[in-house]
Structure 1
Amino acid sequence: MIKRSLSAASWGLSATAAGVLLVGCSGSVSLGTSTPEVSKDKLADTVAERLAATTGQAKPDITCPEALEGKADATTRCALTATDGSTLGVTVTVSAVDGDNVDFGIKADDTPTPAS
């Protein structure tokens, strides 16, 4: 089960080629394991769903290179790839862990990296 909530602090980024506006947000994933961890695929999917729901845009292409450890303040970096090939870094930070439930915040960088 995935629970999401919009954080109080919000930020914006206009990616001209992608035409998207991203907003700071948070998410939560409930896992059925003894060691809380959000797999890289589940994390990427949750981040993409939350950004799409927040912006009203299509679900972006998000990739996360590693799982997110279920420890308070643990972080990982994911990447949003726009249709023109430019990328935007996204930091995911664990805000709380309650049993198997991992709550995390999502914040994108202010500036995209142009396509190669």
Structure 2
Amino acid sequence: MGISSISGSGSFSVSSTDNSTSSLEKQIVKLMKQLQEVQKSDDDEKTKQAKIQLIQQQIQMLQLQIQQKQANAAKAEAERAKSAQEGNEKSNSSTSSKDKLSSSTFDVTV
């Protein structure tokens, strides 16, 4: 795939998504071949149309599943990025508070 600067969990997530959509895409390719075979078949026109319609519906369902998986993967990635950003902001704010304390001088009178 050629992605080099992704953390381990991100990489797994991406390849996992690719594998699941890849399987669906392979099913679409098989259905497209079936569609071509049906169109070339010697079946009567009514039978051909019924088979074509069924195959086209199956293709559409698979395409919707692919879109859903891609949307879910994008949403999960956005949530991970937001969570990481919030974690960085918390880390930065606590570091900032420590910096303020360490740079402050205190007058102590006994």
TM range (shorter): under 0.3
More helix by share: 2
More strand by share: 1
TM-score, scaled to structure 2? 0.24
Structure of higher CA gyration radius = 2
Q: Give the structure, 1 or 2, with the largest relative contact order (CA under 8 Å, sep 6 or more).
A: 2
TM-score, scaled to structure 1? 0.23
